[in-house]
């Protein structure tokens, strides 16, 4: 990692919800940051607009046809070079001129570029939790071997990071007793359980507190998001599963907490706006303006905390089982979930069958040790195939 000014930043997934929030924060600090690359799968017109505004060196899209489309949209304007595919993504995540990589692609598609950034020793801002969940041990080995810095963007993990000493080599040596991972409980926290099978994609995507992409919104509604975050926290903070407790906090004001041996409970609070964790990680260890209004605790009035309902949200239990089983079990959980959520969003699977399908896949897939990227990708592919079979038969 270098200390260049301005810092050069690649935003992987710049057209997504986190990507757009990242550009909003970066645009507030043009002296400190210059944008090296922007990437999107398919929203080419939107990416072209971003290129006009931020003049990156590179723009990357998913395939050759979309690359041509983007090229013709940008013809005669600026000097942005258009690349495509995973090779393009890995290049802009690892180029020597890049200091910081925002990993905000959704799902397994973000694994290779995020890993490429880690292997090149970048400052990596990690929003793409699926990449860490599916490849935790591989990721952590690469991190140690290449001196990269991983800063959590997920609001809960960013909160935990802020409540821990820095650096934090071991939770035990830092006097940490427990991590309290908060979650709103999603839009169906109080919906009658017998009605849940009728939930539609649009209902599932209408989160009460956060505005997010569709996949993570469904994950929040099933609470698989909290399950993935549980696993993410184990990897990021070297925590044992018994050291993490999920707490339902419907207002999403406390973003998570750390309980210390001496009775102290530290919480990070703020309005639910991803620009806060993004600005925190970008500026770390300094602080900078994020465009987020200060939290008005008096207007807020009250904060509630409850235990999670593992019967209503079986995905939470499945995630806990996956991290206990270790090895490739979290990879299988994540792959089955991605396929099931996609099927639900396309109207091919009932909301309550998402968990049923994942559990069946987990029961069928063997647990192996994750020795490298090849094992991760083979496990992922196999679990996706199993999930398609299971969903077809439900
Ligand atoms: P999103 O769906 O809004 O955006 C995803 C981005 O990834 C888009 O730019 C899209 O073009 C790109 N992308 C998708 N599939 C791709 C592929 N196959 N190849 C290349 N690019 C691809 O998602 P989001 O809500 O911004 O979430 C991004 C990540 O951040 C996820 O891992 C999510 O879990 C995490 N996260 C999001 C939030 C939030 O508030 N949205 C909060 C915490 C964590
Ligand atoms: Mg989160």
Any idea which fold 160-272+299-393 has?
Rna Polymerase Sigma Factor; Chain: A (1.10.1740)
Asked whether the CA dihedral 364, 366, 370, 371 is positive or negative, the reply is negative
Q: Hey, which of 10, 12, 13 would you mutate to test ligand 1's pocket, going by the most ligand atoms within 8 Å of its Cβ?
A: 13
d(CA 296, CA 274): 17
pLDDT at 208: 87
Residues annotated within the binding site are 15-18, 128-130, 154-156, 184, 207, 213, 220, 225-226, 229
Cα 244 to middle of ligand 2, angstroms:
15
**Residue 227 CA: which ligand is closest?**
2
pLDDT digits (tens, 9 = 90+) for 113-170: 999 999 999 999 999 999 999 999 999 999 999 999 999 999 999 999 999 999 999 9
pLDDT at 2: 58
Q: Is the pLDDT of residue 1 over 60?
A: no
Coil, strand, or helix at residue 39?
strand
Q: Are 199 and 351 in contact (CB under 8 A)?
A: yes
H helices present in 260-313, as ranges: 275-283, 297-300
Mean pLDDT, the chain, rounded, equals 97
pLDDT digits (tens, 9 = 90+) for 268-313: 999 999 999 999 999 999 999 999 999 999 999 999 999 999 999 9
Torsion of CA 171, 175, 177, 178, to 10 degrees: -50
Instruction: Answer whether 37 contacts ligand 1 (Cβ < 6 A).
Output: no
pLDDT at 87: 98
Cα 228 to middle of ligand 1, angstroms:
15
Instruction: Answer whether 154 contacts ligand 1 (Cβ < 6 A).
Output: yes
CA-nearest of 146, 144, 162, 143 to 154 is 162
pLDDT at 211: 85
pLDDT digits (tens, 9 = 90+) for 327-372: 999 999 999 999 999 999 999 999 999 999 999 999 999 999 999 9
CA distances from 93 to 44, 54, 199, 237, 312 (A): 20, 17, 38, 24, 40
Residues paired with 178 in a beta bridge: 259
* Domain-wise residue ranges, the chain: 7-152, 160-272+299-393
Confidence of residue 15 (pLDDT cuts 50, 70, 90): very high
Percent of the residues in the chain that have a pLDDT greater than 90, as a whole number: 96
For 7-152, which CATH superfamily applies? NAD(P)-binding Rossmann-like Domain (3.40.50.720)
Confidence of residue 109 (pLDDT cuts 50, 70, 90): very high
Here the ipTM equals 0.99
Burial 68-95 (b: 16+ CB within 10 A, else e): ebbbebbeeeeebebbbeeebbbbbbbb
d(CA 91, CA 158): 27
Instruction: Answer whether 18 contacts ligand 1 (Cβ < 6 A).
Output: yes
pLDDT digits (tens, 9 = 90+) for 63-90: 999 999 999 999 989 999 999 999 999 9
Token reading at 112: 């290779």
Mean pLDDT of 15-39: 98
Q: Hey, which of 135, 213, 226, 233 would you mutate to test ligand 1's pocket, going by the most ligand atoms within 8 Å of its Cβ?
A: 213
């Amino acid at each position: 990692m270098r200390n260049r000014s301005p810092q050069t930043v690649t935003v992987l997934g710049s057209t997504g919800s986190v990507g757009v929030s990242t550009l909003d924060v970066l645009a507030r600090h043009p002296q400190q940051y210059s944008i090296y690359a922007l990437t999107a799968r398919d929203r080419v017109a939107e990416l072209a607009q971003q290129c006009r505004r931020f003049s990156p060196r590179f723009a990357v899209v998913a395939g050759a046809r979309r690359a041509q489309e983007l090229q013709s949209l940008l013809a005669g304007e600026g000097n942005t070079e258009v690349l495509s595919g995973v090779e393009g993504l890995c290049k802009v995540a690892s180029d020597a001129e890049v200091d910081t990589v925002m990993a905000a692609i959704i799902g397994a598609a973000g694994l290779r570029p995020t890993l490429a950034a880690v292997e090149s020793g970048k400052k990596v801002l990690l929003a793409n939790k699926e990449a860490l969940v599916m490849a935790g041990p591989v990721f952590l080995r690469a991190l140690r071997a290449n001196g990269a810095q991983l800063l959590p963007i997920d609001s809960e993990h960013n909160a935990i990071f802020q409540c821990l000493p820095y650096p934090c080599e071991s939770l035990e040596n830092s006097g940490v007793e427990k991590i309290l991972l908060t979650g709103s409980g999603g839009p169906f926290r109080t919906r009658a359980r017998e009605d849940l099978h009728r939930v539609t994609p649009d209902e599932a995507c209408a989160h009460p507190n956060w505005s997010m992409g569709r996949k993570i919104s469904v994950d929040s509604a099933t609470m698989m998001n909290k399950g993935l975050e549980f696993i993410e926290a184990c990897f990021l903070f070297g925590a044992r599963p018994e050291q993490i407790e999920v707490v339902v906090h419907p207002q999403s004001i406390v973003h998570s907490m750390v309980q210390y041996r001496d009775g102290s409970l530290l919480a990070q609070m703020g309005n639910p706006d991803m620009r806060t964790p993004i600005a925190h990680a970008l500026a770390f260890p300094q602080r900078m303006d994020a465009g987020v209004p200060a939290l008005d605790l008096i207007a807020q009035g009250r904060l509630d905390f409850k235990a999670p309902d593992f019967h209503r949200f079986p995905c939470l239990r499945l995630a806990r089982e996956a991290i206990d089983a270790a090895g490739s079990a979290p990879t299988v959980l994540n792959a089955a979930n991605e396929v099931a959520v996609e099927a639900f969003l396309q109207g091919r699977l009932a909301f309550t069958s998402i968990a049923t399908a994942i559990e069946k896949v987990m029961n069928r897939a063997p647990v192996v040790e994750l020795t490298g990227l090849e094992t991760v990708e083979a496990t992922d592919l196999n679990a996706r195939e199993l999930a398609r079979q299971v969903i077809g038969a439900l």
